[in-house]
Structures are given as C-alpha cells and as structure tokens.
Amino acid sequence: MQCLRCQAENAADHRYCKACGSPLQPGEVAGDLERAHFLERQGRMAEAAQEYRKALTLDPENVDARYGHGLLLYHEGHLNEAIGEFQRAVSLNATFADAHFTLSVCYYRKCMFEESVSAARQVLAIDPTYFPALYRCGRALFHLGKLDEAIQALEELVRHQPSNTIAYYHLGTAYERKRLWDQAIQAFSRVVAENPQDASSHYHLGLNYRRRLLNDLAVGAFMKVLELDPTDAAAAEQLQNLQK
C-alpha cells in the first residue's frame, strides 16, 4: 500500500506508514483526512469530498473535516451547505478564526451583510491582526449603508497595510458616498500611485476633481482613462462636457 503523504510502499496490513508514520488504512479518521488533503492537492475535488464525508461518518465532530468539507462545498458554489459546515465547525471550536472568516465570506456572497459583519467581528475578537476580516467587515458595512463604520474599518486596515490598493479603492468609494471629495481624491490617488493602469480609479479621480471644481485635473484623469481604455464611453462623455 502506497502512503499518500510520502509515496513510500508499505505492506498491505500496515496501519501506519513505515517511513513517515501517516495512517494508511481506510476507516481511520486521520487516514481519511490525509487522503482528502492529498486529493485536494492533486485537484481531485470530488474524491477529496468523499474522503471528508468518510471522516465525518466516523467522527461527526471532527472540526478539521467539517472545515475542509466546507471549503470544498464553497469552491463548488454550494454556499448553503458550506455555511452549514462552517457553522458546525465554529460550534465545535469557537476560537477557530478561519472558520468564522469563511462564514463571513459565505454570508457576504449571499448578501447576508449583517451576518457577514458579525462573523468578521468574531474573527477580529479572536485575532485583531486578521486583516482580511477587517476588509470583509468594511465591505459588508458599506453595503448596509453604515458608512462611518465602514470607513473606520477600512482606515484601520490601510494603516496596517498601506500598500493595500483594494482597500484604498473601497475606502475611496465610501468617502464618495459621504461627499468627502478631498479624502476620496487622496484614496484613489494612492491606488493609481501603486497601480497606474487602474482605469476605474482614474475615473473616480476625475469625478472627484470635477466635484471640487479642479477641472484641469479632471480632464487629465479622464484622458488617462481613455488612454487605458479608448472604449470607455462614460469617460469620453465626461471629457466632452468638461471641454465645452
């Protein structure tokens, strides 16, 4: 029997690999999980899911199996089933930050924004440096219309991750909703400084320059959009209006 972890050959009646000690026999939860992980690495997701289900049949309260199976379900687009697995995982281990985070992501994808915020805050209570949860919290709060809280979360994130252009972009959109044009300009300027090819951020810069009556800067921003994407009809119209 070949060990899935180290590929060593073992006698058929061995329960554990002679080379690395990994479980070999079916019917062992650890062995089922080892095979599931190996099959995932090989991209054989359906077979991996089957191994996770075997492990859960033997041990329904195995947190690793719940979480691993939930991830496979998530990537296959089965969000409701994935949520069920992650909920079970955090009920078994309330300090499992990754499971709370994946719950937050699932809720977000289902537009369950209150639940997404709650799960993300659970993550941050466990680990305040789990910055993807801070981002998820900010985005969900934005969709709930809680702009001050969204801005607070995203501002904290960029303090810790000053090169996070995605966070700066969404911070800029939150500033726009609050009519904080100068702060929006600063946020989108940070994005284009890091990523000059981001046409969307140049477009937002143009909008906010125009709102601040900085028309020359607005013209330059919209011209940059058209340089990057000559088919952008909205930027062309904005430029035409400014040049009248």
Tens of pLDDT, residue by residue over 174-225, are: 999 999 999 999 999 999 999 999 999 999 999 999 999 999 999 999 999 9
Homologous superfamily of the 162-244 domain (CATH): Tetratricopeptide repeat domain (1.25.40.10)
pLDDT of residue 42: 86
pLDDT of residue 36: 87
Residue 34 predicted with pLDDT over 60: yes
Residue 18 predicted with pLDDT over 70: no
pLDDT of residue 98: 96
Tokens of 135: 């981002």
Residue ranges of domains in the chain? 162-244
Residue 142 predicted with pLDDT over 80: yes
Beta bridge partners of 2: 9
> What average pLDDT is seen over the chain?
91
pLDDT of residue 210: 97
Q: Which is more confident, 9 or 108?
A: 108
pLDDT of residue 5: 57
Q: What is the pTM of this model?
A: 0.84
